[in-house]
Every structure is written in structure tokens, then in C-alpha cells.
Structure 1
Amino acid sequence: MQQVSFRQMKDGTREEYVFLEKLEAQFNEGLVDRLLAALRNLDNTLSGYQVSRLTHSLQSAARAQADGADDDLIVGALLHDLGDELAPYNHSQLAASIIRPYVRGEVTWIIHHHGLFQQVYYAHFYGEDPNERDRFIDHPWYQSCVDFCERYDQASFDPDYPTPPLEHFEPLLRRVFARRPFDPDVIGEEQPLALMTGA
């Protein structure tokens, strides 16, 4: 079989869906290569900062690594702004969706909310509430997100910071994305992800 015969999914046969599942599994084996390509593309987005978005991502991950963070949080830091190009108004949620099947729930929650939490540094310049993140102040991972933003995200726009190349993080990325998707032993506890705008 080269392709399925159905034109509507409801008309597919078991054999066709087994065939498609095999092709999907083969395609998914290239996920890390596509993530690496998307990260490299961040070198050409969002001008105006002293570093490219790729360098910012690498610095964020390097700071997390230097801080002794685990693999999940380092990968989260590396990929946290991956959605900037395609989802500029909800980039945090796009990045969180990418990592969610492979990392613990806390990291997904942090990445999902980091855009909102980052507003503490600049929202007042636009006449907005810089403390909007405080609606989550009683959440068990509130402080983890505050710390992520303070230590890794907002601090990583420094052209003088010793930034490793993307290749430095490739083995880690491959290790994390080689996990069985949605493994409950990895994901652990998950928390509801807020529906947000402008974050």
C-alpha cells in the first residue's frame, strides 16, 4: 500500500490505519531533527535585542544547566520561545504543547505560563498590570515559574554571556524526546493549564 483509499476518515479500514500509524511512527522519529531546525531558525527572528532568539534560548538553557536543573527543565528552557515565530501571541502555550508528552507536569506548567509571568518586567510600560501572574499565587508551581523567569528567561539577553552552541544540547534533547510519550512515570502530576490571552 502506497496510500490509503479513503477520502473521509470515517471510511478508513483497520489495515489503512495500521499502515498510517507505521508511517506516523517513522515520521516522528525525526522530531528532534525538526526541533533543532526550528531552533536554528530562531537565529533570524525578532530583531532589536542584543542577541538573537536562538542565542537567548541557548543562554536560558545554559543558565538552567549551570544552576543544576534537571534534564526536563533544561529542555524547557531551550524550547520555551520556540513558538515566537508561529504563535506570537501565545508562544508559551505552543512551546508547552511541544514538550508536554516528554517532561514532568511542572515543567509544562512553567513553560505554558512563562509569557504571562515575564510581564512583571515590562507590562507597566504599556499601561498593563505587571502583577497579573498573581492570579496563580496559590498554585504549587507559582514560585517555580517565578524562578524560571528570573534566573533563566529575563536574564538571557547578554551578548557577553558564555553561550554554548546548539550542538551542546543535542544529546540532551535526543534523550528527553526518546522517552515514551505521556509516560505517567515521567509526567507525574499534571495541573490544569490556564487559557490565557496576550501571554
Structure 2
Amino acid sequence: MNSVKFTQMKDGTREEYHFLDRLESEFNQALPERILKALSDLQHSLSGYQLSRLEHSLQSAARAEAAGADEEMIVGALIHDIGDELAPYNHSQLAASVIRPYVRSEVTWVLHHHGLFQNYYYAHHFDGDRNERDRYKDHPAYQLCVDFCEKWDQASFDPAYPTPNLEHFAPMVRRIFSRKPFDPAVIGEEYSLT
């Protein structure tokens, strides 16, 4: 079989769905390489900063690594802005969705909310509420997200900071995104994202 015969999903057969499942599994094995390509493409993303979005992402991950963060959080820091091109107004949620099947819930929560928490640094310049993040003050990952933004994200626009290239982080990306998706032993208890 080279392709299914159905034109509506409801008409698919068991054989066709097993065929598609096999193809999807094969396709998904290349996910780490697609993530690395998407990161590499950030080299030509938003302008105006002293660093490209790729360099910012690499620097965020480098700061996380230097602080002794575990591999899940380092990769989270690396991909936190991966959605900037396709989801400029909800890039945080896109990044969280990409990593969610492969990491513990607090990493997903931090990525999901980092855009809102970053408002602390500039929302007042637009007459916005820089403390909007405080509505999550009682959440178990609140302080982790505050620290993520303070120590790694907002601080990573420095062209003088020694930052490794993408190949340095590639083995971590490959390990994280090659995990069994939604493994309860990895994800643990899921946090509500709202």
C-alpha cells in the first residue's frame, strides 16, 4: 500500500490506519532534527535586537546550563521562543505545546507562561500591568517562571556573553524529543495551563 483509499476518515479501514500509524511513527523519529532546523531558522527572525532570536535562545539555554538546570529545563530555555515566527502573539503557548509530551509539567507551565511573565520588564512602557503575572502567585511553578524570566530570558540579549552554538545543545534536543511521548513517569502530575 502506498496510500489509503478513503477520502473521509470515517471510511478508513483497520489496515489503512495501521499503515498510517507506521508512517507517522517513522516520520516522528525525525522530530529532533525538525526542532533543530526550526531553531536554526530563528537566525533570520525578529530584528532590532543586538542578537538574533537564535542567539537569544542559545544564550538563554547557556545561562540555564551554567546555573545547573537539568536537561529538560535547558532544552525548554532553548526552544522557549521557537514560536515567534508562526505565533507572534502566543509564541509561549506554541513552545509549550511543542515540548509538552516530553518533559515534566512544570517545564511546560513555565514555557506556556513566560511571555506573560516577561511583561514585567516592559508592559509599563505601554501603560500595561507589569504585575499581571501575580494572578499566578499561588501556583507551584510561579517562582520557577519568575526565575526563568529574570535569570535566563530577559538577561539573554548580551552580545558579549559567551554562548555555545546550536551543535552544543543538539544532543540534548535529540534526547528530549526522542522520548516516548506523554510518558507518565516523565510528565508526572499535569498542571492546569490556565
**TM-score normalised to the size of structure 1?**
0.97
For residues 33-52 of structure 1, what are the structure 2 equivalents within 5 Å? 33-52=33-52
- Two-structure CA RMSD over aligned residues (Å): 0.5
For residues 112-127 of structure 1, what are the structure 2 equivalents within 5 Å? 112-127=112-127
Partner residue in 1 for 2:137: 137
Residue type at the aligned position of 1:48: G
Partner residue in 2 for 1:86: 86
Residue type at the aligned position of 1:159: P
Report the Cα offset of residue 55 of structure 1.
Answer: 0.2
Partner residue in 2 for 1:66: 66
Q: Structure 2: which 5+ runs fail to align?
A: none
Partner residue in 1 for 2:187: 187
Report the Cα offset of residue 178 of structure 1.
Answer: 1.6
Question: Matched residues in 2 for 1:68 and 1:140: separation?
Answer: 20
Report the Cα offset of residue 176 of structure 1.
Answer: 1.0
Partner residue in 1 for 2:16: 16
Question: Matched residues in 1 for 2:41 and 2:23: separation?
Answer: 26
Question: Matched residues in 2 for 1:146 and 1:59: separation?
Answer: 18
Question: Matched residues in 1 for 2:134 and 2:177: separation?
Answer: 32
Provide, for residues 13-72 of structure 1, a one-character-per-residue CA deviation record: whole Å limited to 9, x for no partner: 000000000000010011011111100110001100000000000000000000000011
Q: Structure 1: which 5+ runs fail to align?
A: 195-199
Number of residue pairs aligned between Structure 1 and Structure 2: 194
**TM-score normalised to the size of structure 2?**
0.99
Provide, for residues 123-158 of structure 1, a one-character-per-residue CA deviation record: whole Å limited to 9, x for no partner: 000011000000000111100000000010000000
Question: Matched residues in 2 for 1:10 and 1:189: separation?
Answer: 34
Question: Matched residues in 1 for 2:138 and 2:105: separation?
Answer: 17
Partner residue in 2 for 1:97: 97
Residue type at the aligned position of 1:55: E
Q: Percent identity?
A: 70
Partner residue in 2 for 1:176: 176
Question: Matched residues in 2 for 1:39 and 1:131: separation?
Answer: 30
Deviation above 6 Å: which 4+ runs of structure 1? none
